[in-house]
Amino acid sequence: MTLNLNELARGGTVCLSKAGVAIGGTTSKARTNAPNGAGVDFAINGILYHVADADNNIVLTGDVQTALYTNVYLVCINSANTITVVQGDEVLSASLTAGSAPLHWPTPTVNTCPIGAIKVAAGAGAFTPGTTALTGGTVTVTYYDLFAVPASPLTS
């Protein structure tokens, strides 16, 4: 199917700048650091908004992630530039790498724009969102910048 975006486009919730999600100055937090050097433009329901880069502006939340499991945390922003995180469903890391269990992207909160995501693979210890550092030997962390939530789940 061809998707023709030419005519009568209405609404739209997408992130229009690479947010540059990365570890924060406080290592249990993350930050936005757009490589354009000028912050992030994003749309919610057709209206455009702008948020400046800031350190420690992404605070992970959710249940304690089990040791040896992987999970993805979706970073969302609302029209007031408040950033929240939606925790996904954790998957045993061994099952993920074996291809027997994909890692699904969480569903964004209504009326927020997903700008990025953070995949956390917990090692021998549990990972507590917002408390455990996003660096060091116990976790492997991958950052994603989103235009929209990918259609396919993660398979690694």
Partner 1 sequence: MTFNFNDLVRGGTACFSKAGLAEGTNDHTIKIAAPNGAGVDFAINGLSYHKADTDNIAPTVCDEQTLGTTCLYVVTLQTDGDVVVTKGNEVDNDDLSGGYAVLDWPTPPAGECPIGAIKVAAGTTAFTVGVDDITDDVGTGTITFYDFFAVPSAPLTS
**Which tokens sit at 152?**
């396919």
Of 39 and 129, the one with the shorter C-beta distance to partner 1 is: 39
Residue 1 within binding range of partner 1, rule CB under 8 A: yes
Pinpoint the alpha helices (H) of 50-126: 93-98
State residue 93 phi and psi, 5-degree precision. Answer: -60, -35
Tally of CB atoms within 10 A around 64? 13
**Mask: binding to partner 1, 47-86, rule CB under 8 A, as x and -?**
xxxx------------------------------------
Q: How far is the C-alpha of 61 from the C-alpha of 125, rounded, in Å?
A: 17
Q: How far is the C-alpha of 93 from the C-alpha of 139, rounded, in Å?
A: 12
Residue 38 within binding range of partner 1, rule CB under 8 A: yes
**Least distance from partner 1 to the Cβ atom of residue 150, Å:** 8
**Least distance from partner 1 to the Cβ atom of residue 151, Å:** 5
Residue 99 within binding range of partner 1, rule CB under 8 A: no
Residue 97 within binding range of partner 1, rule CB under 8 A: no
Across 63-155, the runs of DSSP E, i.e. the strands, are 69-77, 83-87, 91-92, 113-122, 139-145
Of 38 and 67, the one with the shorter C-beta distance to partner 1 is: 38
Residue 6 within binding range of partner 1, rule CB under 8 A: yes
Residue 39 within binding range of partner 1, rule CB under 8 A: yes
Rounded (10°) CA dihedral 37, 47, 56, 69: -110
Of 15 and 134, the one with the shorter C-beta distance to partner 1 is: 15
Identify the residue among 22, 43, 59, 92 touching partner 1 (CB under 8 A).
43
Return the DSSP state at 95.
Answer: H
Residue 124 within binding range of partner 1, rule CB under 8 A: no
